[in-house]
Structure formats: structure tokens, C-alpha cells
Amino acid sequence: MAGTTPQQSDVEGVDAGVGLTALLVAAARAIETHRHDSLAQDTYAEHFVRAAPACADWPVRVEQVPDGDDNPLWGRFARYFGLRTRVLDDFLLRSVAAGARQVVLLGAGLDTRAFRLDLPSDCVVFEIDRAGVLAFKQRVLTDRSAAPKVKRVPVPVDLRGDWSGTLTTLGFDAGAPSAWLAEGLLFYLPGPTETYLIDTVDRLTTAGSVLAFEAKLEEDLQAYRDSTTYTATREQIGIDLLHLFDSGPRPDSAGDLSARGWSTSMHTPFDFTRLHRRGPLPEPNDALEGNRWVFAHKPTP
């Protein structure tokens, strides 16, 4: 299996490295939750932010941001995460309506879909992330006496290793349809790890299963270093996303899935901004320019 790269820190929790990005998304979801025109509701999100010393001074409402929606980080970028949450919520709800009863969240971070979505009661949600991130999450949820609406199975593994055995040992059934999300994950992983992940999802899925993932198609990410998004994230909260993203060549995962017989469709986030009439639109030197949301379905042979 692919080894580690210098880009991904071995820090295990949410206090630093790639784990901190889980808190960034949680803060964005907290802000989205409190908007009058909210696209997605996550009442747990602000509690994660408040529980982590690393982000004690981050906002959880847009009113706490001096320049409000004009702030590139807590305005436009947060809205991006709100839109992404909504689009993938809808994808999952459609997938379970079509019959999937197993949901696998790859790089789950502080995702609370098992607690907040109206999933069928016989659904199981597997949350894969590193042990430190899942331990922090559990601590906050336990403190709030939060109860999942469906069976929830934390899967503490590093996706850079061979994780499929742990998932099946914890109850995942490769013979039954499943719905998978890789939301804000793949570009943190080395290319061979992504290829292995896609191969594993294909191997563990039966006809009728689905996968949605986020990709970044930019040839040269560093060309966007001075974009308002990356600059604000670096300067306001000290997260250098371009340093955390893997810098090696990216596989064509949508193409790989198509070659394996999956049907795929690829959208820009802006497609959904237009659909929902809320969210980010293209701007010059745009850090979101290469972002794509891919929806893949494994048909009956």
C-alpha cells in the first residue's frame, strides 16, 4: 500500500495538520446553520468549534465576522462548504430512498449526518477517520448527550493503510448496496492512496451502490496561492491549505470508475449555486475554479 507523504502531517487529532480542516468545515457549517437563508442545518457544528482550543476565537455566526459576507473565508468559502453539505445531504437521501442501507463516510471528520438526517431506521453509517479526530468528535457528542438517529459505527483507521479489513470486521457488508462519500478528502491523500481507495470502493460495492466525491482539477495549485480564499485561510486562521494538499500528480478517479463500468457525472459547485440560488459564483483567480463534485453509480451488470 502507498506510504505517507511529507504533505500529510502525522498529527492525529483536530488540533493541527489536516485534522484542523475538519474544524474549518464545522465552523462553516455552524455559520450556515444560523443564516436566514441556510442551505443545511447542523446544530452540532458550533459545539465542535467551541470545544477545540485551536479555534477558540473562530466565529460560528456570520454576525461575529466584522466584514460579514464580504470576508473571503467566513463569507464566500463558508458558503461553499454550506452548499457542499446540502448537495451531499440530498445525494445521500436520494441514495437511501433508492435502497442503500449502508453509508460510508470516508474522511468523515465532524460530519453529523448520522445525527441530523432522516435516514431509514435500518440504515448504518460508518464514519472513517483517524483515531484522534473520531475521539474528539465522540467526546463532544457525549458531552451533549447526542443520540444518532441510526446505527453509527466509528472506524478509526488511516486511509493511507489497508482499511478495508477494519471496515468489514466492524460490520460492513460488501454484498449489499452502499452509498459512499469522500467530501473534502481526496486531495489531501497521495495519488496512489486515492487510486487504492477508488479500487477498494469498487471491490466492496455491489450493483446499485453510489459514490460522491470532491476533486480538484487544477494543473498547478500553487498558481492560486494568492487567491483571496487561500490568503484569508492562511492569514486569519493559520491554515495553509496548499501546504496540506498533496502536491503529487492526481489520478483521474472519475475516468477510473467509468472504465470499471460505473456511470459518472461531474459538476462544478457553481452549477448548484445556480440551482439553489445561493452560494459562490466564479471570481478572478478563484481557488474554487478546479473544484468538481463527482457522482458515480454502479449499475447492474
Q: Applying CB under 6 A, which residues contact ligand SAM? A: 8, 18-19, 21-22, 25, 107-111, 129-130, 133, 158-160, 183-185, 188-189
Q: Which residues are within 8 A (CB) of 210 and not within 5 positions of it... i.e. 6 or more apart? A: 91, 95, 100, 178, 179, 180, 295, 296, 297, 298
Q: In the complex, what is the shortest distance from the CB of residue 52 to ligand SAM, in angstroms, rounded to a whole number?
A: 12
Q: Which is nearer to ligand SAM, 170 or 176 (CB)?
A: 170
Q: Which is nearer to ligand SAM, 159 or 287 (CB)?
A: 159
Q: In the complex, what is the shortest distance from the CB of residue 174 to ligand SAM, in angstroms, rounded to a whole number?
A: 20
**Distance (Å, whole) CA 279 – CA 79:** 6
DSSP label of 70:
G
Q: In the complex, what is the shortest distance from the CB of residue 108 to ligand SAM, in angstroms, rounded to a whole number?
A: 6
What are the beta bridge partners of residue 213? 182, 294
Q: Which is nearer to ligand SAM, 116 or 130 (CB)?
A: 130
10 Å CB burial of residue 23 (0-12, 13-18, 19+) is: buried
Q: In the complex, what is the shortest distance from the CB of residue 290 to ligand SAM, in angstroms, rounded to a whole number?
A: 16
Q: In the complex, what is the shortest distance from the CB of residue 192 to ligand SAM, in angstroms, rounded to a whole number?
A: 12
Q: Which is nearer to ligand SAM, 8 or 227 (CB)?
A: 8
Residue 270: C-alpha distances to residues 88, 126, 215, 222 (Å): 14, 29, 14, 22
**Distance (Å, whole) CA 86 – CA 276:** 10
Q: Which is nearer to ligand SAM, 67 or 243 (CB)?
A: 243
Instruction: Note whether 25 and 113 are within 8 A (CB).
Output: no
Q: Which residues are within 8 A (CB) of 109 and not within 5 positions of it... i.e. 6 or more apart? A: 21, 22, 25, 26, 129, 133, 137, 184
Instruction: Note whether 25 and 244 are within 8 A (CB).
Output: no
Name the residue with the smallest CB distance to ligand SAM.
109
Q: In the complex, what is the shortest distance from the CB of residue 66 to ligand SAM, in angstroms, rounded to a whole number?
A: 25
**Distance (Å, whole) CA 248 – CA 85:** 27
Q: Which is nearer to ligand SAM, 193 or 227 (CB)?
A: 193
Q: In the complex, what is the shortest distance from the CB of residue 161 to ligand SAM, in angstroms, rounded to a whole number?
A: 8
Query: Half-sphere exposure (CA, 13 Å, Cβ side) for 139?
Result: 13
Q: Which is nearer to ligand SAM, 105 or 150 (CB)?
A: 105
Q: Which is nearer to ligand SAM, 193 or 205 (CB)?
A: 193
Q: Order across the sheet with 151-156: list the strands.
A: 151-156, 124-129, 102-106, 178-182, 210-216, 291-297, 263-267
Q: In the complex, what is the shortest distance from the CB of residue 301 to ligand SAM, in angstroms, rounded to a whole number?
A: 30
**Distance (Å, whole) CA 122 – CA 240:** 40
